[in-house]
Structure 1
Amino acid sequence: MSGNRQLFFMPETERPKMLGLDTCGDFMPFYHEGVFYLYYLHKYSIYEVTTTDFIQYSEPRMAIACGSPEDQDWHIGTGGVIEKDGVFHFYYTGFNEGNLHREGDLNEQVLMRAISSDLKDWSKDPGFFVRPDKQCYGNLHWRDPQPFRNEEAGEYWLVVTATEKDGLFRRGGCTHVMRSDDLDHWRHGDTIYAPRTFETHECHDLFRIGDWWYMVFSNYTRWWETRYRMARSPEGPWITPAPDDMFDGRAFYAAKTVSDGSRRYLVGWQAIRANMDDKQHYQWGGSVLVHELIQRDDGLLGVKPPETIRGHFRHMSELKPTPRLGEWTVNAETIGREPYGFGWLELGPMPAECLIRARLSWSEETIACGLMLRTSGDKLNKWCQVRIEPRRRRLVFDRSNKFDNDHHFIEERYFDCGDVREAELTIIASGNVIVIYANDTALAARAYDFEPGSAGLFVESGEVRCAEFGILEPSR
């Protein structure tokens, strides 16, 4: 394999007509002795890549190979790793789509397991084979097992994606738990979450921070999305955080968490667009995207860039402020005013890989403000834009190459600063990936049809103040 060595790892270099199975998806992170093992789905098997900082990655290698068309794990699906007494147990999904059309006691999805003593060589365990509990659940969605030690219950749990047996159409997704004292003998537990909202809850991850339990899952019923719920007990009841229960935008998917003992990271994938075209749909699979989780005072979760990635950018680029439209004052604090439309200030070249940081505040009447990225052309022919829209309470990534025949959604997130009217922005760009952090809210996107160009500030119908602005490149 020729691994993609951009900041956001992908096992193969992105290219037109790239199939989703050539990318990576559904990361199953595991931490052991200072190393993050990122297992992921690739070409119907499970592959592995390791990192200590989410910047430098090892060469990818196969961990568990899929079987033949006659095997239950003809295609392998998501799972998770747990260690007990020096032995590593990898629970995963065995897919065989052909079983749906065969007679007999056959299932499309079955829970399976592999064993290892070193996280390198895995042996499939033929004795572990858990079919759907058809007395209580449907016979389709039965996958994505997540093992963990539930210290509160004094036992091991295996969280399973399931479907209610007689649930509503495309609303029967539920979360089932299996229980064990030793990882070898499992018994069916209970349904701990069945909101009658989604077709399925994929890629579960249950974990505890302080007094709160959290359940992260992904869903494709309405959007591609990674959501979370919170509870005082792993049994529930599970609360939907209001008004925002997402971590990122509509192309950040199948994220699961991993902790090194002091920090917890959310590891998912940022989808690629078909044919590397901004006007095409997102497709399954993409490149790894990692956020560090933040627990707010009220128990709600936010995200920020990992400190290792932030520290990767240390070389400050020289700025060349040039007012383009509107009234701009550039001193210790940069102030821009344009009461009746759009104004912007070009600040300097934007390298292909960089981190941009800015601290903005705005007047009460301001419609929108934020950053211009990848700008080019005498008439601002091409541009990307990070928009804070205070009145609409949203964060937006917009771009210039949308025309009448392009009806794809813009990238947007709920974002509310309340009466504070200020935000700290961090933008990380690498290749066609752009990741935006506004305070502790993230929004990632792709921008294919853009040269590096320049970066700057903008304001629409109001006033913006910038107390800090910097463009940083990786350390030389």
Structure 2
Amino acid sequence: MIMRTKITVFTAAALALTLSACNSAESLPDEPYEASPYHLYPAPENAYVGDTMPYVTDDNELELYYLYDTDHNGQGYHPVWKYSTKNLYEYQDHGMVLNFGLMSDPDPAIGTGSVLKDQEGLYHLFYTGHNDTGNGGKGKECVMHAVSTDRENWTKLPEDTFFSEDNYSKDDFRDPEVFWSEEDGCYWMLIAARENTLGGVVAKYTSADLKNWEFQGPIYSPRQQYMLECPDLFKIGNKYYLTYSWDCVTYYAVSDSMNGPFTAPEDNVLDGSGFIFYAAKTAELNGTRYLCGWLGRAGLTEDSGIYQWAGNVLNHQLVQKEDGTLGVKAPDTFSEYFTADKPFKAVKKLGNAKVKNNTVTVTATDKEYAIADMGTRPVSLMLECDVRMSADSRVGFAFGGSQNDPVYTALCLDASRNLLHYEGYELEDLARFDPAVYTRFDFDKSENHHVTLVCENEIVILYIDDTKAFSSRIRHSTNGAHICLFAESGNAEFSNITVKVPGQ
């Protein structure tokens, strides 16, 4: 794979594009731009959201417990903090609810877990204790237990701590997911573990009292990944789904029974690669199931397609397809947030671009790509449109074209590779360089697609056909950059375009 980040020096092709754009008869003026607080994708001030542990309260509020991460973690790190929301666009920050332990404890670092309420009304937080000293030979990782009566003040129960089984890694034993099983009449605990011959597995334990746990063996062992982190098991309709994460990606498998066997669909990734969307677990709020994870923070360079562990909250709404596979879309509650219509306007900027009412047609030629300019990108928006694309085309959304920065970078619907991708490439580079981070999407099934684009500050989430998401941080779309429609290869018609911004 050839990787290239956005450069600041003009290439000859970029200079030609700039001159052509400046000489265009039609141009939309730059508008003021001011960043806003994160409403849809929160993160703590000067810190980051790590793995989330979603819990839904009796009064239908989603609580997102998460691992609090910084750029300067010490010997002890990842205390548990919490957000709560009723609608996924208004969040309350509860701050820290569980601190890490001392270096002499099993949990100077805390790892992922889960929250539940028992049948007597007591709340339980099961989580990972991590200590690089190895806990006197017992292993670096263990399952730990805390209880609470109000979900704000938690008391650790160190006597309930336990380590991995024989024939399992002592250092890779984490992410307990605990829930009540009506079918079995007991509590289940799923753990990310590593069996010495099977590799990464999801191990199952059962308990009658949430204190004494009996090992039941692996419930899923695909023999592919080193670990299957942050497992979660849930049911939609008559299917059971198991989500897990590794390789900087969240995956899923499906079964007709909660006991398995679980089978991974041919394409079992719902968002992008490379810490774009990771460690996702699910929660059902008001009858809708959401996939709750995080979008990684930017790497050493922005708009490079390189992300680091932990960043901002990111929630997708799950969709069950007729064949039993899963898809994702923007949360329906976002329509309550984006209530103001922004009048649609677009002009031809370059090449063969035509605008008629709320329809834009762009057609690339061998010598020139096509761009239609929709003006300065609002700091927060939800854009929807229908897209009809030619086979093997490369089309999508371009950002740039302002007086301060005339270069365009491309968020690409790439039918030539069956990918959605963004890595800061300029338009002329799309054909020359391999995608660095991406989501697979089969454009061969249809030439017609419905696309939703959600933007907040530099975070840009693209949804297509209630099937896939591709999440990005596109700094080049902010600070007055214009949002455009483009065709670099082939042609596309973007129709029924609507743009909404938050209401006042």
TM-score, normalization: structure 2?
0.84
Please tell me whether the aligned partners of residues 252 and 269 of structure 1 are also in contact (alpha carbons under 8 angstroms): yes
Per-residue CA deviation, residues 221-276 of structure 1 (Å, 9 max, x unaligned), is xxx1001111112222211111x211111221101000125100011010012356
Matched, 1:201 2:228: yes
AA of the residue aligned to 1:177: K
Tell me by how many angstroms 1:338 deviates. Answer: 3.1
Matched, 1:330 2:364: no
Please tell me whether the aligned partners of residues 46 and 62 of structure 1 are also in contact (alpha carbons under 8 angstroms): yes
Pick from 51, 68, 72: which aligns with 2:102? Answer: 68
Matched, 1:98 2:125: no
Mapped partners of 2:386, 2:434: distance in 1: 30
Q: Which residue of 2 aligns with 1:19?
A: none
Tell me by how many angstroms 1:120 deviates. Answer: 1.4
The 3 A distance-change label for structure 1 pair 376 and 391 is same
The 3 A distance-change label for structure 1 pair 428 and 234 is same
Matched, 1:346 2:338: no
Tell me by how many angstroms 1:398 deviates. Answer: 4.5
Higher strand share: 1
Pick from 415, 430, 433: which aligns with 1:390? Answer: 415
Pick from 231, 243, 249: which aligns with 2:272? Answer: 249
Matched, 1:117 2:149: yes
Q: Which residue of 1 aligns with 2:294?
A: 269
Percent identity at matched positions?
29
CA RMSD across the alignment: 2.4
Query: 326-335 or 84-93: which moved more?
Result: 326-335
AA of the residue aligned to 1:114: A
Matched, 1:164 2:195: yes
Mapped partners of 1:209, 1:50: distance in 2: 24
Mapped partners of 2:253, 2:487: distance in 1: 36
Mapped partners of 2:112, 2:426: distance in 1: 36
Please tell me whether the aligned partners of residues 351 and 453 of structure 1 are also in contact (alpha carbons under 8 angstroms): no
Q: Which residue of 1 aligns with 2:217?
A: 190
Mapped partners of 1:328, 1:61: distance in 2: 50
Pick from 34, 54, 58: which aligns with 2:88? Answer: 54
AA of the residue aligned to 1:317: K
Q: Which residue of 2 aligns with 1:88?
A: 123
The 3 A distance-change label for structure 1 pair 207 and 447 is same
Tell me by how many angstroms 1:183 deviates. Answer: 2.1
Please tell me whether the aligned partners of residues 364 and 491 of structure 2 are also in contact (alpha carbons under 8 angstroms): yes
Mapped partners of 1:392, 1:99: distance in 2: 46
Q: Which residue of 2 aligns with 1:17?
A: none
Mapped partners of 1:351, 1:29: distance in 2: 31
Per-residue CA deviation, residues 262-307 of structure 1 (Å, 9 max, x unaligned), is 1000110100123563348422110000000000000100001111
Per-residue CA deviation, residues 129-177 of structure 1 (Å, 9 max, x unaligned), is 111112x31212111000012223332110011111245xxxx111110
TM-score, normalization: structure 1?
0.89
The 3 A distance-change label for structure 1 pair 51 and 12 is same
Tell me by how many angstroms 1:342 deviates. Answer: 1.2
Q: Which residue of 1 aligns with 2:9?
A: none
Please tell me whether the aligned partners of residues 93 and 109 of structure 1 are also in contact (alpha carbons under 8 angstroms): yes
Q: Which residue of 2 aligns with 1:16?
A: none
AA of the residue aligned to 2:41: F
Mapped partners of 1:261, 1:279: distance in 2: 38
Structure of greater relative contact order (alpha carbons < 8 Å, 6+ residues apart): 2
SS of 1:130 mapped into structure 2: coil
The 3 A distance-change label for structure 1 pair 74 and 235 is same
Unaligned runs of at least 5 residues, structure 1: 14-21
Q: Which residue of 2 aligns with 1:376?
A: 402
SS of 2:204 mapped into structure 1: strand
Mapped partners of 1:280, 1:195: distance in 2: 28
The 3 A distance-change label for structure 1 pair 464 and 401 is closer
Per-residue CA deviation, residues 444-468 of structure 1 (Å, 9 max, x unaligned), is 0112245232122212343322221
AA of the residue aligned to 2:269: M
Pick from 49, 63, 75: which aligns with 1:37? Answer: 63
Mapped partners of 1:320, 1:261: distance in 2: 37
Matched, 1:10 2:10: no
Tell me by how many angstroms 1:215 deviates. Answer: 0.7
Tell me by how many angstroms 1:373 deviates. Answer: 3.0
Unaligned runs of at least 5 residues, structure 2: 1-35, 69-76
Mapped partners of 2:454, 2:131: distance in 1: 40
AA of the residue aligned to 2:363: R
The 3 A distance-change label for structure 1 pair 299 and 119 is same
Mapped partners of 1:275, 1:317: distance in 2: 35
Tell me by how many angstroms 1:399 deviates. Answer: 2.6
Per-residue CA deviation, residues 71-125 of structure 1 (Å, 9 max, x unaligned), is 111111110011112111111111111126xxx4432111110011111111111
Please tell me whether the aligned partners of residues 143 and 162 of structure 2 are also in contact (alpha carbons under 8 angstroms): yes
Tell me by how many angstroms 1:325 deviates. Answer: 2.2
Tell me by how many angstroms 1:8 deviates. Answer: 1.0
Mapped partners of 2:228, 2:390: distance in 1: 41
Mapped partners of 2:460, 2:163: distance in 1: 41
SS of 2:333 mapped into structure 1: helix
Matched, 1:282 2:307: yes
The 3 A distance-change label for structure 1 pair 334 and 44 is closer
Mapped partners of 2:238, 2:272: distance in 1: 27
Mapped partners of 2:434, 2:294: distance in 1: 20
Mapped partners of 1:453, 1:196: distance in 2: 46
AA of the residue aligned to 2:259: E
How do residues 288-437 of structure 1 correspond to structure 2 at under 5 angstroms? 288-332=313-357, 333-340=359-366, 341-364=368-391, 367-377=393-403, 381-400=406-425, 410-437=436-463
SS of 2:172 mapped into structure 1: coil
SS of 1:298 mapped into structure 2: coil
AA of the residue aligned to 2:156: K
Pick from 119, 125, 132: which aligns with 2:164? Answer: 132
Please tell me whether the aligned partners of residues 43 and 311 of structure 2 are also in contact (alpha carbons under 8 angstroms): yes
Please tell me whether the aligned partners of residues 305 and 436 of structure 2 are also in contact (alpha carbons under 8 angstroms): no
Tell me by how many angstroms 1:401 deviates. Answer: 6.3
